[in-house]
A and B are shown apart, each in its own frame.
Chain A
Amino acid sequence: MNETFDVAIVGAGPAGISAAITLANAGIKTVVVERGEYPGAKNMSGGVLYGHDLGQILPDFTKIPGFPIERNIIESRIWYLSKEAGISVGYRDSIFAGERKQNVFTVGRAKFDRWYADQARKKGALIVPATVVLDLIRENGRVTGVQTGRADGDIHAKVVLIADGVNSRLAVTAGFRPDVKPEHVALAVKEVIELAPEIIDQRFGVSDGNGVTTEILGAVAGGMDGVGVLYTNKASISLALGANLADFSKTKLKPYDLIETFKKHPMVAPLIAGGKSLEYTAHWLPEGGYDTMPKLYGDGYLIAGDSAMLFNAPHREGSNLAMLSGKMAADTIIEAMKTGDFSAKSLSAYNTKLSESKILQDMKKYRGFGGFLYDHKEIFETMPEIVQFGGRELLTVNAESKKTKQDKIIKKLRKDMGIPRFVRLMWSGFRAVK
């Protein structure tokens, strides 16, 4: 396939496909090279997407046949768990079932990305699956294409968009970023657990294709810096659990044992009871934040999505940032096509677009968040135990006065953690997200 295109995109995920749709809309000759058997075959996320951001690329996405939505999310819950107990806070709003429908919705990435790539194909982009990009082609220091694993597999292009995900071999091989450090990613495992739609409706108190997401914090990963999610799909539950990879190294905990323990937690077990596991997958989350982002452009290339470490952990935004960054990369390329200048200077407009958008503004706002969690393991072990102690004291009715109970809780906090440390923790937490 020794062919020449205007743009070669590496990776048919949300970043690459968003770019491909935008470019194809502008009549630009675009190829997307994907290593999976089909787009989405290697992709995994917790499973939420955001309608506003998808709408920037496909304005009428809900009207496109086959739009693979699982459930429209009307309630977002946050849990803080100890090993045997938990606090639950949720926000449900009828606006999300009405005029702000599809504000957040769940998807399965294998299904969604395949459909999304079909939209790019319909608009004229060429999608080449089952093909690994091994390296970039360069001429005079400028990227001019990609070398694939196929025989005669060189693809020449005016510009290359690297969107091959968080485990980007290409960006590393090309020297555009060092290989990822264990402390900068979370390793997540996920099970998709089949349940009848009406059982999901009953258990979560929803109907009409609506659903609930739950972000799960606290002692969910054996004391590691970890997080869980439990999302409702049409006829399944996505249950995922992730923890910092450096913590996995230190603790020697096994991801598949942890998710089994997680399934048995008294808050989780009743929601998945009777369900049948359909799939087990693993993937990284780029948690390193703003300070681990590589330079996102150079002579003849741009980097988008997870490859660029774009991820907003506290707001569970990743796939949507990939989409928006893919679109901004495409818009930059469309402008550069007018002058034919694909130098780093010309492509630096991409960085300006990202900086002016919520993407880099949010990345900067939360730049300290990952480090804050990683450095404060008490959030994942000591604090949950104190919360459990407090909950049991306050909610157990016995002969003790409430004042006695309150004193016991404060004593526990003093003993296990210390008041100054607790105050410092709160202050650091506030500073990490302010």
Chain B
Amino acid sequence: MKIEDKLFLDRFRVEEESHLKITDADKCKQCEDQPCLNLCPANVYRLEDGCIMVNYEGCLECGSCRIACPKLNIDWNYPRGGFGISHKFG
């Protein structure tokens, strides 16, 4: 089962604006490991043309990207109240 299919099972109320922001895109280019690309359980961070894109819509709100970013380059906020994922079973 692919990650896209897993996320398709979940219920999201998507905000117009991302609650995850990369503070300085240049820092990501200098980052060798880019752990966000692998450890995010929702595959939010994807490399496109050498740039890290933030697909915040499927974020599971665990916070891992924020604290695992070697450069602490992710401005991580909770989505606005009532937005983001809503667990059905939990």
Contacts and interface: CB of A to CB of B under 8 A. Distances in A.
Interface of A: 35-38, 40-45, 108-113, 129-132, 148-150, 167, 169, 179-182, 185, 187, 189, 191-192, 236, 245-246, 248-249, 252-256, 260, 277-284
A104 B79 CA distance: 34
Given A131-B81, A180-B67, A252-B35, A167 B61 contact: yes
A279 B42 CA distance: 13
B85 interface: yes
Contacts of B85: 41-42, 281
Given A182-B67, A279-B10, 12 more contacts: A110-B90, A167-B61, A182-B64, A245-B68, A249-B35, A249-B39, A254-B43, A256-B6, A278-B89, A280-B7, A283-B60, A284-B64
B88 A256 contact: no
Interface string B1-45: 101001101100100000000000000000001010011011100
A254 B46 CA distance: 13
A134 B89 CA distance: 27
B68 A249 contact: yes
B90 A277 contact: no
B86 A37 contact: yes
Contacts of B64: 182, 187, 245, 248, 282, 284
> Majority SS of interface residues in chain B?
loop
Contact of A130 (B62, B82, B88): B82
Given A37-B13, A187-B41, A256-B6, A169 B77 contact: yes
Contacts of B9: 277-280
A174 to B, nearest CB: 15
Contacts of A44: 87, 90
Nearest to B3: A256
A110 B87 contact: yes
B31 to A, nearest CB: 12
Contact of A129 (B61, B63, B80, B82): B82
A236 B82 contact: no
B10 A281 contact: yes
Given A182-B67, A284-B62, A284-B64, A37 B35 contact: no
Nearest to A249: B35
Contacts of A252: 33, 35, 38-39
A269 to B, nearest CB: 13
Contacts of A167: 61-63
Given A131-B81, A253-B38, A113 B90 contact: yes
21 contacts: A35-B79, A35-B81, A36-B87, A42-B86, A109-B89, A110-B87, A110-B89, A149-B80, A167-B61, A169-B78, A189-B41, A191-B6, A192-B89, A245-B39, A245-B67, A246-B68, A248-B64, A249-B35, A254-B3, A278-B9, A282-B61
Interface of B: 1, 3, 6-7, 9-10, 13, 33, 35, 38-39, 41-43, 60-64, 66-68, 77-82, 84-90
A235 B79 CA distance: 31
B83 to A, nearest CB: 8
Given A248-B68, A260-B1, A283-B62, A36 B39 contact: no
B60 to A, nearest CB: 4
> Majority SS of interface residues in chain A?
mixed
Contacts of A253: 38
A86 B60 CA distance: 31
Contacts of B60: 280-283
A148 B81 CA distance: 9
A248 B88 contact: no
A42 B77 contact: no
A150 B33 CA distance: 38
Contact of A254 (B38, B61, B66, B80): B38
Given A37-B86, A189-B41, A281-B60, A150 B68 contact: no
A41 B87 contact: yes
A112 B90 CA distance: 9
| The 10 A-B residue pairs with the shortest CB-CB distance in the complex, in nearest-first order | A130-B82, A110-B90, A109-B90, A280-B6, A282-B41, A167-B63, A108-B89, A282-B60, A110-B87, A130-B81
A130 to B, nearest CB: 3
A24 B67 CA distance: 36
B39 A255 contact: yes
B90 A284 contact: no
Contacts of B82: 35-37, 129-131
A35 B87 contact: no
Given A187-B41, A249-B39, A252-B35, A284 B89 contact: no
Nearest to A40: B90
Nearest to A258: B41
